Structure 1
Amino acid sequence: MAALAPAVAAVRNAVRRSLGAAEPRLDPGDVVLVACSGGADSLALAVAARFVTHRMRVRCGLVTVDHGLQDGSADRAARLAGWAREREFAPVDVRSVTVSGPGGPEASARDARYAALVASAKAHRAALVLLGHTRDDQAETVLLALTRGSGPRGLSGMPPQRAWHGVTFVRPLLDVSRAVTRLACEADGLTWWEDPHNSDPAYARSRLRPVVDALGERVVDNLARTARLVAADTEYLDELAADALEKALDGPAALSVAELERLPGPVRTRVLHAWARRLGVPGGLLSHRHVAALDALVTDWHGQGPAALPGGVSIARSAGRLRHDH
């Protein structure tokens, strides 16, 4: 019996650990969907997930999203679906999307992809959707956050697990390098697809990829570890802020300035951010500048006018409260 290739073992072990720690807990008969583009990362993930879930008596399906951005994308999606059926993935789902909307092509494609994955998961009653982001992707995410001046939330990178629109997404490969997924595919005799967008300088992440490659494995590992450490601190501060928000609420659309003044700055700004979201401000448009304007109503009050937030939301200070100025 041939020895198991170390790269294959590494990917399987990562999937096994991730599924064991995931919430909700998996029971026999549950469905797990692997989001697969046909690239090396998601192919290695798919094969490993099929192996691991079979032993858990959990059904493993595959969903691929055709963004329609390149010639032949529909044929590639169909071939990938055929491969998945031959490997006994079930269900196998191909979702076609139209990429349009605000935020540029990267953001629009991401939004369309996640909407398709959510729809597929709900259609097949999947307990989890697995995503193939690797340690290298995590390092790129941290560097992107640095270049954009993001705060701790951006530097936290991608979480191992996230619930979105009622669907739980899990990233088993955040501690596995991109090189290992390619070695795993080679060991399994798999031919993967290289997305030309990954080397297209029109995309910010693509411009960073050569930088990440040049940094070397040790620096990439340090960046990924930084994301984990910052994420833990951010989670704790978010929990403090959630409690503080409930105490500061003064009616359905007001906050007590006295309660806000008692809070440390990092907690207070999180409270203001969460409150703005609760009032209907779109999270993707709520920037540091907007939260700073709200904070100034508390810490630098000199009779200034309302703070204007995205979505037509206006916040004013009066009678010791921050109020949603309808």
Structure 2
Amino acid sequence: MAPDSRPVRRRLDPTVGKARAMVGALLGLKTTGKNRVVENPPLILVGCSGGPDSLALAAVCAFFARRGEVRVGAVVVDHQMQDGSAEVARNTAAQLRELGLDPVLVRTVELDYDGVGPEAAARAARFGALEAAALEVGASNVLLGHTLDDQAESVLLGLARGSGTRSLAGMRERRGIYLRPFLGLRREETLEICDALELQPWHDPANQDPAYLRVRVRHGVIPFLQDELGPGIAESLARSAGILGRDADFLDELAAAEYGKLAERGGAAGAAGAENTGEKGDLGQIWLPEAALRGLAPALRMRVLALAAVELGGVQPSLERLAAAEKLLAREGSAGPVQLAGKVAVYRQSRNQAGPHEGPGYGKLVLRRNT
């Protein structure tokens, strides 16, 4: 009897199958059955550092590219924070090309430490590079390899900083062009995927450096909580983030609706005499009626103030700065200005101020972009 000459199919690793199901669910693609080749498949990009999480994600996405329903490329960002980072980026790009990803882009960034630490500066530079790359090649989405463990760490960091609901909600599965399909996957499972698919991940030495708060949370706080409270603490923290995320999304929707009704926009002239042009290109100030702000629930009021600051080009203000801005509504003491992050100031027109008590700035909080 002639030996069976049919090729032996390797058994699918269950963790790889689980990861494929997560990516497929988020992209609306099937992992089984006959593939449906698309004439002009959409392009997605994977943000890949070369570490186990993002490399595993890239390999899983390559499966969908081979089925012909989507094109998959990647962006490797070199932050230049360590010696040899350029070589790491080149090696990562080469491994991604071997997986069949195309295009594979390498972007070298310069960090801007304008009042922020290295982690925040690297994050800002990374997302700037990812967005520019997606725009350049016409990608519909950028996939990121954050895991359940990253989510748990984010919640604990938010608690330590006394942050609000949005911060405690952690990272969203969908936000703009960004997708995070692995938020239900443990970090150790991405290592299993790399082993199963014979990948060679890069292990960032910064992930072992206790100088970083997130590293201390990862290797000190979470293991301590697990020892004291029992296993499953990471899953519980991630589950809390999911619950708070839905609450935060609802509050954000309400705040956006109120902001749309209240915000008046104008150029960079003085508040009392500025013409309310409404032209975004000339936007230098935003006015918010004090009486209407006082009538909002505190959770909405803080969000409306934050939306104005961000629209003027600032960054999300801290709760402390927002609370200081909110105190201006009491019309007691100083009329400001209160400085928010990102060179945005907020003040009110004082009743004791000389000149007519009228114009677009009177009876309103004025948020101004400092030039």
The answer to whether residue 306 in structure 2 is matched with residue 264 in structure 1 is no
Q: Deviations over 1:34-58 (max 9, x none)?
A: 1111111111101101102332521
The answer to whether residue 74 in structure 2 is matched with residue 62 in structure 1 is yes
1:10 CA displacement: 1.2
Secondary structure of residue in 2 paired with 1:224? helix
Q: Distance in 2 between matches of 1:150 and 1:35?
A: 27
The answer to whether residue 158 in structure 2 is matched with residue 145 in structure 1 is yes
User: Which letter does structure 2 place at the counterpart of 1:274?
Assistant: L
User: Which letter does structure 2 place at the counterpart of 1:183?
Assistant: E
1:17 CA displacement: 1.1
Structure 1 residues 87 and 250: alpha-carbon distance in aligned structure 2, compared to 1, 3 A threshold: closer
Give the percent of matched residue pairs that are identical in Structure 1 and Structure 2. 40
Conserved in 2, the CA contact under 8 Å of 1:254 and 1:321? no
Partner of 1:324: 366
Q: Distance in 1 between matches of 2:263 and 2:73?
A: 45
Partner of 2:58: 46
Conserved in 2, the CA contact under 8 Å of 1:256 and 1:321? yes
Partner of 1:306: 336
2:240 corresponds to which of 226, 241, 255: 226
Equivalenced residue count is: 315
Conserved in 2, the CA contact under 8 Å of 1:62 and 1:93? yes
Conserved in 2, the CA contact under 8 Å of 1:290 and 1:307? no
Q: Distance in 2 between matches of 1:68 and 1:322?
A: 45
1:214 CA displacement: 4.6
Conserved in 2, the CA contact under 8 Å of 1:31 and 1:60? yes
Secondary structure of residue in 2 paired with 1:173? coil
For 1:198-277, list aligned pairs within 5 A: 198-210=207-219, 211-216=221-226, 218-249=232-263, 252=276, 253-277=286-310
The answer to whether residue 17 in structure 2 is matched with residue 9 in structure 1 is yes
Q: Deviations over 1:157-183 (max 9, x none)?
A: 1111222xxxx1111101111011111
Conserved in 1, the CA contact under 8 Å of 2:314 and 2:344? no
Q: Distance in 2 between matches of 1:270 and 1:325?
A: 14
Q: Distance in 1 between matches of 2:50 and 2:344?
A: 42
Structure 1 residues 129 and 324: alpha-carbon distance in aligned structure 2, compared to 1, 3 A threshold: same
Structure 1 residues 245 and 215: alpha-carbon distance in aligned structure 2, compared to 1, 3 A threshold: same
Conserved in 2, the CA contact under 8 Å of 1:281 and 1:313? no
Secondary structure of residue in 2 paired with 1:283? coil
Q: Distance in 1 between matches of 2:366 and 2:109?
A: 37
Q: TM-score, normalised by structure 2?
A: 0.78
Conserved in 1, the CA contact under 8 Å of 2:325 and 2:346? no
Q: Which one has a bigger Cα radius of gyration?
A: 2
Partner of 2:272: none
Q: Distance in 1 between matches of 2:153 and 2:185?
A: 14
1:325 CA displacement: 7.3
Structure 1 residues 289 and 218: alpha-carbon distance in aligned structure 2, compared to 1, 3 A threshold: same
Secondary structure of residue in 1 paired with 2:67? helix
Secondary structure of residue in 1 paired with 2:76? strand
Conserved in 2, the CA contact under 8 Å of 1:305 and 1:316? yes
Q: Please, which runs of 5 or more residues in structure 1 have no aligned partner?
A: none
Structure 1 residues 248 and 67: alpha-carbon distance in aligned structure 2, compared to 1, 3 A threshold: closer
Conserved in 1, the CA contact under 8 Å of 2:309 and 2:367? no
Q: Distance in 2 between matches of 1:70 and 1:228?
A: 34
Partner of 1:30: 42
Partner of 1:172: 181
1:27 CA displacement: 8.7
Stretch deviating more after TM superposition (183-192 or 308-317): 308-317
Q: Distance in 1 between matches of 2:223 and 2:202?
A: 19
Q: Distance in 2 between matches of 1:242 and 1:62?
A: 33
Structure 1 residues 191 and 237: alpha-carbon distance in aligned structure 2, compared to 1, 3 A threshold: same
The answer to whether residue 125 in structure 2 is matched with residue 125 in structure 1 is no
Runs (4+) of structure 1 exceeding 6 A deviation are none
Q: Distance in 1 between matches of 2:325 and 2:313?
A: 13
Stretch deviating more after TM superposition (109-118 or 129-138): 109-118
Structure 1 residues 201 and 6: alpha-carbon distance in aligned structure 2, compared to 1, 3 A threshold: same
Q: Distance in 2 between matches of 1:215 and 1:41?
A: 24
More helix by share: 1
Secondary structure of residue in 1 paired with 2:288? strand
Partner of 1:18: 26
User: Which letter does structure 2 place at the counterpart of 1:255?
Assistant: L
The answer to whether residue 126 in structure 2 is matched with residue 94 in structure 1 is no
Q: Distance in 2 between matches of 1:223 and 1:95?
A: 34
Q: Distance in 1 between matches of 2:225 and 2:348?
A: 47
Partner of 1:283: 315
Structure 1 residues 288 and 281: alpha-carbon distance in aligned structure 2, compared to 1, 3 A threshold: farther
